[in-house]
């Protein structure tokens, strides 16, 4: 009897798989499959953090594993008997799953890229508006019980209209496209870079060729970092790239902390080169108490929660059940990860 494992009981209540989702996924498998639901808590933070003894035991002998990340310990246990053929992670990032044994194996890996796109794109636009309309000044004045009209009456006040602003998007995957749709609808000019292809969504100019990233940065009032973390993107935004951004520009990072050089970013923020930064991800999480980013008035710190949404499990369940049907029919799976490329 073939075996499938559902290991999605996140210890964080908002991310724990609901009963109706378990029922729908279980029902997608034929009656002659042994579908095991792990009750022990998993941890889906980031690309998945650790596993439980219950999950390791359940994964042995499974053909299909559906989890909140792919811990190496669990992968080794699951592959020991040779039945494992497909693993799915409910995360978008897969850096933590691409250990050598996974990359070298024939196991198909799928992820949830695009599932988080809608709430993350909402967060990007919220951060853009936070700085565009001076909400940071308002929040600070409110905390101090100050009626601060003077800041907004000053000739150099850094507030702007979105319709006269340009948003640069680094990475036109699921998140980048969702951000682009919102920005275009709000009247912004949108320029973007992408790893392959030259066509973008309606209203989006894709910058290609030599120095594409630099030329995009030159033109942007706001920059949204939406690329996956890979060997090619780690440290992609460093001191030289930040220097290309115009004085008063804003950086928003919803990718991974390793993509942006935090030391160089801190300097750019402290010197006033940048108007501000909206950061949902950091090189070290939780962000250490000693980090200067906590105390900078032009930084909005978000504790890696931009994807939080009560609609997550509807989209996730639809993706998983669609892929179960494809798997049973021998069809290519949605969101198959290129383990060599890293996404």
Rounded to 10°, the helix 19-28/312-329 angle is 10
Closest among 64, 62, 49 to 328, alpha carbons compared = 64
Catalytic residue among 12, 285, 292, 325: 285
Q: Which residue in this structure is represented by tokens 């250990």?
A: 99
Q: For 262, list phi and psi in degrees, rounded to 5.
A: -65, -35
3-state helix, strand, coil in the chain (%, to 5): 35, 15, 45
Catalytic residue among 116, 177, 275, 304: 304
CA distance 321 to 317: 6
Give CA separation, 322 vs 23, 51, 184, 319, 325, in Å. Answer: 14, 26, 31, 5, 5
Rounded to 10°, the helix 117-132/174-185 angle is 50
CA distance 276 to 127: 10
CA distance 248 to 272: 7
With beta carbons less than 8 A apart as the criterion, state whether 5 and 52 touch: no
Q: What is the 3-state secondary structure (H, E, C) of 208-256?
A: CCCCHHHHHHHHCCEEEECCCCCCCCCCCECHHHHHHCCCCEEEEECCC
CA distance 162 to 36: 50
Catalytic residue among 118, 256, 262, 275: 256
CA distance 80 to 249: 52
Close Cβ partners of 186 (under 8 Å, ≥ 6 residues apart): 125, 162, 163
256 is catalytic: yes
Give the tokens for residue 267: 């300097």
Q: Which residue in this structure is represented by tokens 């609901």?
A: 18
Q: Which residues are catalytic?
A: 256, 285, 304
């Amino acid at each position: 009897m073939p075996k499938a494992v559902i290991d999605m009981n996140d210890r964080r209540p908002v991310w724990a798989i609901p009963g109706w989702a378990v029922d729908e996924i279980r029902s997608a498998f034929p009656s002659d499959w042994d579908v095991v639901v792990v009750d022990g808590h998993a941890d889906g933070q980031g690309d998945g953090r650790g596993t439980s003894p219950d999950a390791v035991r359940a994964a042995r002998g499974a053909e299909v594993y559906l989890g909140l990340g792919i811990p190496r310990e669990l992968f080794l246990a699951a592959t020991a008997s040779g039945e494992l053929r497909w693993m799915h992670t409910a995360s978008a990032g897969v850096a933590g799953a691409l250990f050598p044994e996974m990359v070298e194996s024939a196991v198909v890996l799928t992820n949830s890229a695009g599932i988080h796109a809608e709430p993350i794109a909402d967060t990007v636009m919220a951060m853009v508006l936070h700085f565009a309309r001076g909400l940071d000044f308002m929040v600070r004045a409110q905390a101090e019980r100050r009626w601060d009209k003077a800041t907004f009456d000053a000739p150099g006040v850094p507030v702007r209209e979105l319709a006269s602003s340009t948003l640069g998007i680094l990475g036109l995957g699921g998140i980048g496209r969702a951000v682009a749709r919102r920005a275009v609808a709000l009247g912004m000019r949108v320029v973007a870079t992408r790893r392959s292809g030259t066509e973008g969504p309606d209203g989006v100019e894709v910058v290609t060729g030599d120095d594409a990233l630099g030329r995009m940065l030159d033109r942007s009032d706001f920059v949204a970092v939406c690329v996956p973390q890979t060997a090619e993107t780690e440290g992609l935004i460093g001191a030289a790239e930040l220097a290309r951004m115009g004085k008063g520009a804003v950086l928003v990072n919803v990718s991974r902390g390793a993509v942006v050089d935090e030391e160089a970013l801190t300097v750019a923020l402290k010197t006033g080169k940048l108007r501000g930064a909206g950061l949902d991800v950091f090189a070290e999480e939780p962000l250490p108490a000693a980090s200067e980013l906590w105390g900078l008035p032009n930084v909005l710190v978000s504790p890696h929660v931009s994807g939080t949404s009560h609609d997550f499990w509807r989209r996730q369940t639809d993706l998983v059940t669609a892929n179960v049907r494809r798997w049973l029919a021998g069809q290519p799976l949605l969101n198959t990860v290129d383990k060599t490329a890293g996404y």
